Amino acid sequence: MNITVIGTGYVGLVTGTCLAEKGNKVICVDIDPKKVKNLEKGIIPIYEPNLQEMVIQNIAKKKLSFTTSLIDGIKNAKVVFFALPTPPGEGGSADLSYVLDVSKQLTSLLQKYTVIVNKSTVPVGTTHKIQSIIRKKYNGGFDVVSNPEFLKEGSAVADFMNPDRIVIGTSSKKAKKIMEELYSPFTKKGVPLLVMDECSAELTKYAANTFLAMKIAFMNEIAQLCERLGADVSLIKEGIGQDDRIGKKFLNAGIGFGGSCFPKDVIALLHTAKQNNYDFKLVKALIEVNQHQKIHLIKPLKSYFKNYLVGKKIALWGLAYKPETDDIREAPSLYVINALLEEGVDIQVYDPKATENIKKIYKDKITYFTNKYDAIKDADALIIVTEWKEFKNADIKKIGTLLHHKAIFDGRNIYDLQTMKKHKFHYISIGRQPVTI
């Protein structure tokens, strides 16, 4: 099929590349000319495992191309995907300006029956809104379909190629058939394709993200209790995760969730509830829990230094909101850095992939390192913010010799308490008992 993907970020680039990999002819459109120029050369703007290789291979096979021109992009398209940003807007509602602007532009460009598929996360009613914008000015045939995306950054290609399910929101038989054909390489392998009405498809995405965010927030509250009661949250995770009804995933306590999706989607769902006169108490509580959790380690850090952090050198390992990505949107690292800057701390940071993105925000306010051990040399303490594998596998003895004080504040529970005791660290983690020296 001839496919166009508008917006070439995490979702758009992965969608376009994976659909090209399945044999479709894909054109990706983006307004950022620098991004498009680089993509044409196979240089991708984000870090995502296996993506670069797949982009290069599909460009070579002439299955994947890039343009800044919407006219050229949609000329031959049978299906046009929207993978446009929907950042938080006023009062927490999703900002639909990108999606609605492109919809307006399409009205003068469509020439034949086209299926417009929205992959952006949008509030209930947006599919119908796009439909009515286009219908006002375009007399030809078209359908607008909701097709929320569930890929995870860090494993986006694998998730797209092997999804748990595909959700399609449409009331059009014609569009349904085209979507079934497009996704047939996936459904052939037994992946369920769930066809539902547009509103339910849109709400499914918010329900999924909010539910997952709630699991994390719940474990963080259990962690708070553990710290007060002398229990260990990692044991509780095992104890409850064995129950099929609960499941093993998303039960890690830590310094909160971030990223481009959970925080904004949770707030947008709360906004939708408010607009519809529903007081969604669970969502309100989980937002509050997560805000506190992001700076949870600042208190024990301060108390370790007798409430005086001015001039202390603190190292941060991890800046990305989670491992295997360079994305720092709403990352806990931002909240930790801001809190430390307020305390007058000298901050030294290291992340395998996200440093360049953090540099754009903090410039010369903090010091950047390209090696994890250099970042902790002579630091008064280390805060672990992201659970990258290279931190889990770090040489504990070496950490002890490089740090000025053997103090680790671990926001991701990556080290074993016994090991920390053995190596005589002051080690504070989340929902587990402190190791003190």
* Residues binding ligand NAD (CB under 6 A): 6-12, 29-32, 35, 83-86, 98, 101-102, 119-121, 149, 151, 153, 260-261
Least distance (Å) from ligand NAD to the CB of residue 105?
Answer: 8
The DSSP-derived string for 29-91 is: E-S-HHHHHHHHTT--SS--TTHHHHHHHHHHTTSEEEES-HHHHHTT-SEEEE-----B-GG
Compute CA distances 46 → 65, 104, 156, whole Å. 17, 28, 11
Query: How far is Cα 390 from Cα 35, in angstroms, rounded to an integer?
Result: 29
Least distance (Å) from ligand NAD to the CB of residue 32?
Answer: 4
Question: For the chain, how big is the Rg over CA atoms in Å?
Answer: 24
Q: Which is nearer to ligand NAD, 10 or 350 (CB)?
A: 10
Compute CA distances 183 → 147, 161, 177, 309, whole Å. 11, 10, 10, 55
Query: How far is Cα 207 from Cα 223, in angstroms, rounded to an integer?
Result: 24
Least distance (Å) from ligand NAD to the CB of residue 8?
Answer: 5
Q: Which is nearer to ligand NAD, 11 or 222 (CB)?
A: 11
Q: Which is nearer to ligand NAD, 268 or 403 (CB)?
A: 268
Query: How far is Cα 361 from Cα 22, in angstroms, rounded to an integer?
Result: 38
Q: Which is nearer to ligand NAD, 121 or 234 (CB)?
A: 121
Smallest CA-to-CA distance from 129 within 93, 77, 79, 165 is with: 93
Least distance (Å) from ligand NAD to the CB of residue 181?
Answer: 23
Q: Which is nearer to ligand NAD, 82 or 409 (CB)?
A: 82
Catalytic site residue from 18, 28, 226, 261? 261
User: 321-350: buried (b, 16+ CB within 10 Å) or exposed (e) per residue?
Assistant: bbbbbbbbbbbbbbbbbebbeebebbbbbb
Least distance (Å) from ligand NAD to the CB of residue 150?
Answer: 6
Residue 53's DSSP bridge partners are: none
What tokens does 254 get?
């830590």
Query: How far is Cα 369 from Cα 350, in angstroms, rounded to an integer?
Result: 5
Residue number with the smallest Cβ distance to ligand NAD: 9
Query: How far is Cα 351 from Cα 326, in angstroms, rounded to an integer?
Result: 9
Q: Which is nearer to ligand NAD, 202 or 410 (CB)?
A: 202
Q: Which is nearer to ligand NAD, 264 or 312 (CB)?
A: 264
Least distance (Å) from ligand NAD to the CB of residue 87?
Answer: 8
Q: Which is nearer to ligand NAD, 32 or 180 (CB)?
A: 32
Least distance (Å) from ligand NAD to the CB of residue 97?
Answer: 9
Strands 313-317 and 193-196 come out as: unpaired
Query: How far is Cα 293 from Cα 217, in angstroms, rounded to an integer?
Result: 9
Backbone torsions φ then ψ of 426, nearest 5 degrees: -85, 115
Least distance (Å) from ligand NAD to the CB of residue 266?
Answer: 12
174 Cβ contact partners less than 8 Å away, ≥ 6 residues apart:
113, 143
199 is catalytic: no
330 close to 264: Cβ distance less than 8 angstroms: yes
205 close to 121: Cβ distance less than 8 angstroms: yes
Backbone torsions φ then ψ of 123, nearest 5 degrees: -60, 155
Catalytic residues: 261
